[in-house]
């Protein structure tokens, strides 16, 4: 189903079919009964991005069909987005349409929002942005009570904040997250909250320390910090690392060491192949961690062979995946040493074929 063909009346039907297909793919691993977590049918995405299409005096948000890439499809409404984005879209379009300074050579708009109502808008241009642009943008930001970022080649002008904050309740605790513009964030806020709680519940009997790869903005790090003695969390993206450090500080989490390392570098460090200056700033030497578990939330490509071997060293493995195909490929290796203890599917991407999968494995 194309993004502009949303049919909320069909959501349950599509979700049930997606669940059946996902479950079939894991039968080969003698998986336990899966848990399933649906999404709201509308108003679930915290981010939305559109091209701006200029046609005479008219201006519209548009998307493109990959099958007809030269034909812009006007987007009048976008029901997938959180309500604050849906409310801001027509107001912003009217404001920009009637303002030559903001309209000229504007080619893309990106929205980010929180359930609390805060909105961040990024306006991307094919021209330099000057003081007059900033003056006009400030007027609209004030009138609409939102933050605006102007971007052009080698320029970034920030009016207000370049981040949004969202809160999730995990167990009985509220965790507060800051996500920066143009950095990775779980797109479906309601499903993300379900994912956090599922992982938290499956860590009920946790002990020792945890190694976390691909920690992003600390999405899973914050709730898991209450379950483990210490966490060594690693992330390679600068913007995500910045957000994770801020989120640890905001939530007064002090038992996490966060280091900018790739998964490949973690393999080298733990194997003693290479020393990293960054690891010398840990709260304790690397060999003093008593790792009992590892948590991974890798990119769509999954775990490479060496990282998969590293993960197999740990008694417990938490694996969250946005690509069931690469997860199943990794499980071919991981289930040689571990058995599948828990399985869950999350509808992070409604109305698409994509499904978020999560497993917990214990050493056999």
User: Which residues participate in catalysis according to the annotation?
Assistant: 322, 356
Pairing of strands 291-296, 316-321: parallel
Neighbours of 195 (CB within 10 A): 24
Q: Please provide the DSSP assignment of 45-80 as one string.
A: BSEEEEEEEEETTEEEEEEEETTEEEEEEE-S--TT
Measured N-to-C along each axis, helices 11-25 and 324-334 cross at an angle, to the nearest 10 degrees, of 20
> How many C-alpha atoms does 8 have within 13 Å on its Cβ side?
9
Neighbours of 11 (CB within 10 A): 18
Residue 203 and residue 170 in contact, taking contact as beta carbons nearer than 8 Å: no
The enclosing H or E element of 304 equals: none
Name the strands in the sheet holding 316-321, side by side, starting at the edge strand that comes first in the sequence: 35-37, 338-346, 356-363, 316-321, 291-296, 209-213, 231-235, 256-260
Task: Pull the structure tokens for residue 29.
Answer: 């691993």
CA–CA gap between residue 329 and residue 213 (Å, rounded):
18
Residue 168 and residue 175 in contact, taking contact as beta carbons nearer than 8 Å: yes
Task: Pull the structure tokens for residue 316.
Answer: 């417990």
């Amino acid at each position: 189903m194309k993004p502009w063909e949303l049919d909320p009346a069909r959501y349950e039907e599509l979700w049930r079919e997606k669940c059946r297909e996902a479950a079939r793919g894991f039968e080969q691993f003698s998986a336990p009964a899966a848990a399933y977590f649906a999404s709201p049918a509308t108003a679930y995405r915290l981010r939305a991005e559109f091209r701006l299409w200029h046609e005479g005096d008219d201006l519209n948000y548009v998307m493109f069909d990959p099958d007809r890439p030269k034909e812009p499809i006007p987007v009048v409404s976008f029901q997938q987005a959180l309500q604050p984005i849906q409310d801001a879209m027509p107001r912003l379009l009217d404001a920009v349409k009637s303002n030559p300074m903001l309209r000229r050579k504007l080619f893309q708009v990106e929205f980010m929002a929180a359930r609390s109502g805060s909105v961040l808008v990024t306006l991307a241009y094919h021209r330099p942005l000057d003081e007059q642009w900033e003056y006009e943008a400030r007027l609209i930001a004030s009138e609409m009570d939102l933050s605006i970022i102007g971007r052009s080649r080698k320029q970034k002008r920030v009016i207000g904040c370049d981040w949004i904050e969202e809160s999730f309740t995990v167990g009985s605790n509220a965790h507060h997250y800051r996500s920066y513009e143009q950095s990775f964030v779980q797109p479906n806020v309601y499903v993300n909250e379900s994912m956090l709680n599922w992982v938290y519940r499956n860590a009920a009997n946790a002990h020792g320390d945890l190694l976390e790869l691909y920690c992003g903005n600390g999405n899973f790090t914050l709730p898991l910090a209450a379950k483990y003695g210490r966490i060594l969390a690693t992330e390679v993206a600068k913007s995500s690392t910045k957000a994770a450090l801020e989120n640890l500080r905001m939530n007064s989490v002090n038992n996490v060491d966060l280091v900018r390392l790739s998964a490949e570098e973690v393999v080298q460090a733990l194997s003693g192949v290479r020393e990293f200056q960054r690891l010398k700033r840990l709260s304790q030497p690397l060999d003093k961690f008593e790792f009992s578990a590892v948590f991974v939330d890798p990119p769509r490509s999954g775990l490479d062979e060496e990282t998969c071997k590293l993960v197999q060293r740990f008694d417990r493995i938490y694996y969250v995946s946005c690509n069931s195909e690469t997860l199943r490929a990794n499980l071919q290796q991981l289930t040689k040493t571990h058995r599948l203890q828990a399985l869950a599917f999350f509808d992070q991407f409604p109305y698409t074929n994509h499904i978020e999968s999560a497993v917990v494995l214990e050493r056999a």
